């Protein structure tokens, strides 16, 4: 090959590379911060930051959310994210060993802890207003540069394994594990954040470090700060701490649809003093118009179940109905323990059917909405409660503003809405029964 030919080929290669570079989309620039009343929304390299200023608040809540949840692990390493973040939050950093890190938090009067579920993980801090800057520095260091000493990993592992053992020994917890296994077959949620005894026992420090490295992408992070803080200052703190992280390839993709073909009953024989029953039905998501109605309807049903099952008939000490909304896949829940499970569940299911059959009286509906709103507003009295609520609305509903609008949506729920919700959603019960299987009439659960 002649020198002239080689030069020509090199030139063509350079031209092609330049053209490809020109065609490659550049990362979108961060939008400018936007202030809406007491809220400011900012961005740092794709990381969203929500800051709510609460004048005169003594405490500041800082919560760093990591998206992905169950999609971040597999059956083989389930439990890894929870273990890694628990060890990060309590085991010190590359600059401060565990003892020095703990002493510093204590001197500041601050707290730092980690939680994980099937939807996301979070590192949470709570500090006095004047100690926010240093507390945030400790939080960010724990995430970015944890020490992960072997002793702390083992301590947190044993705690996790102890919780798993506790689930086997306590009927109420066992019931919930069995329910999870029933409803999330072949779904990402089937591998729980806590993991299994087998998976957690095998995890090592190298795996934990590699997993944490995968999480350090600005595009999968959400920072929520609530207290008497300056939003611009918080955004600059986030930029200094996390602005150098790669944006990463994380995308907000919807979970696979969860479908329920029909009612199912998993009756597990176990010799117990009483029988445990948990029935669930798939409900509306945070983004559905019936979401507020679901909260009201299940609150109404809870009071009715308590009245009919416990107060009037004394069939059970603690019957309940609830809407498990702290999930991207919410469920309506009927729960009871009973010596006579067939008689008790007949009353429970009759009350659920009555919700669809008969309109609510105006005073009953108004009273239940008032009670719900009181609890909702009380949960937002603390800065950490407000931060959690804002994060849930952003992560589950896609818009933090729903934390503001939900009370008004609750107030507008009508009796007709409740009936429509019950007719549309209260069926195809997925039930787990733990106890004397000979005492339950399996045909009961086909009634709805």
Domains of the chain listed by start with CATH number: 34-242 (3.30.830.10), 264-446 (3.30.830.10)
What's the pLDDT tens digit per position in 94-142?
999 999 999 999 999 999 999 999 999 999 999 999 999 999 999 999 9
Strands (E), 271-409: 275-282, 320-324, 331-338
pTM: 0.91
How far are the Cα atoms of 8, 19, 154 from residue 11, in angstroms, in the given order?
A: 5, 12, 58
The reported pLDDT for the residue numbered 247 is 94
Tell me if residue 63 falls in helix, strand or coil.
Answer: strand
pLDDT higher than threshold 90 for residue 226: yes
Chain position carrying tokens 């202030």: 35
The reported pLDDT for the residue numbered 25 is 44
pLDDT higher than threshold 80 for residue 10: no
What is the side-by-side strand order in the sheet with 275-282? 264-269, 430-435, 275-282, 331-338, 320-324
Where does the pLDDT of residue 8 fall: very low under 50, low under 70, confident under 90, or very high at 90 and above?
A: very low
Where does the pLDDT of residue 16 fall: very low under 50, low under 70, confident under 90, or very high at 90 and above?
A: very low
How many residues are given for the chain?
Answer: 448
The reported pLDDT for the residue numbered 27 is 57
The reported pLDDT for the residue numbered 19 is 37
Candidate ranges 80-84, 317-321, 444-448; pick with highest mean pLDDT: 80-84
pLDDT higher than threshold 90 for residue 423: yes
Mean pLDDT of 21-48: 81
More confident residue, 257 or 194: 194
* Residue of 194, 9, 238 lying closest to 83 (CA atoms): 194
- As a whole number of angstroms, the distance between CA 96 and CA 79 comes to 26
Where does the pLDDT of residue 223 fall: very low under 50, low under 70, confident under 90, or very high at 90 and above?
A: very high
The reported pLDDT for the residue numbered 254 is 85
- As a whole number of angstroms, the distance between CA 231 and CA 379 comes to 23
């Amino acid at each position: 090959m002649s020198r002239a030919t080689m030069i020509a080929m090199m030139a063509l290669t350079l031209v092609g590379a330049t053209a490809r570079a020109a065609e490659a989309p550049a990362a979108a620039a961060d939008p400018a911060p936007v202030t809406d009343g007491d809220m400011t929304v900012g961005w740092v390299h794709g990381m969203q930051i929500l800051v709510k200023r609460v004048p005169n608040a003594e405490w500041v809540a800082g919560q760093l959310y990591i998206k992905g949840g169950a999609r971040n692990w597999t059956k083989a390493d389930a439990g890894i994210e929870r273990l890694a973040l628990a060890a990060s939050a309590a085991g010190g950093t590359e600059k401060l060993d565990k003892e020095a890190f703990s002493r510093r938090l204590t001197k500041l009067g601050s707290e730092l802890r980690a939680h994980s579920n099937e939807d996301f993980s979070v590192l949470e801090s709570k500090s006095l207003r004047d100690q926010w800057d240093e507390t945030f520095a400790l939080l960010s260091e724990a995430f970015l540069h944890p020490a992960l000493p072997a002793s702390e990993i083992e301590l947190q592992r044993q705690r996790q394994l102890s919780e798993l053992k506790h689930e086997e020994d306590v009927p109420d917890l066992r019931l919930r594990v069995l329910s999870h296994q029933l409803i999330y077959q072949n779904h990402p949620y089937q591998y729980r954040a806590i993991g299994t005894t087998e998976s957690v026992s095998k995890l090592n420090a190298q795996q934990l470090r590699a997993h944490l490295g995968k999480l350090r992408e600005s595009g999968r992070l959400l920072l929520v700060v609530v207290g008497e803080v300056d939003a611009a200052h918080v955004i600059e703190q986030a930029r200094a701490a996390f602005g150098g992280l790669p944006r990463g390839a994380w995308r907000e993709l919807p979970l696979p649809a969860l479908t329920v073909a029909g009612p199912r009953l998993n009756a597990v024989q176990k010799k117990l003093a009483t029988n445990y029953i948990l029935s669930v039905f798939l409900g509306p998501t945070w983004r559905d118009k019936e979401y507020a109605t679901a909260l009201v309807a299940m609150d109404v049903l809870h009071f009715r179940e308590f009245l009919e099952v416990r107060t009037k008939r004394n069939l059970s000490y603690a019957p309940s109905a609830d809407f498990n909304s702290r999930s991207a896949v919410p469920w309506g829940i009927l729960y009871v323990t009973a010596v006579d499970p067939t008689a008790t569940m007949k009353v429970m299911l009759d009350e659920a059917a009555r919700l669809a059959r008969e309109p609510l009286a105006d005073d009953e509906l108004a009273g239940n909405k008032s009670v719900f709103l009181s609890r909702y507003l009380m949960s937002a009295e603390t800065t950490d409660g407000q931060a959690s609520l804002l994060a849930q609305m952003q992560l589950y509903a896609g818009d933090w503003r729903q934390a503001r609008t939900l009370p008004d949506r609750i107030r507008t729920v009508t009796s007709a809405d409740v009936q429509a919700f019950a007719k549309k959603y209260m069926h195809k019960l997925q039930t787990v029964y733990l106890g004397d299987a000979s005492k339950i009439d399996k045909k009961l659960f086909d009634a709805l």
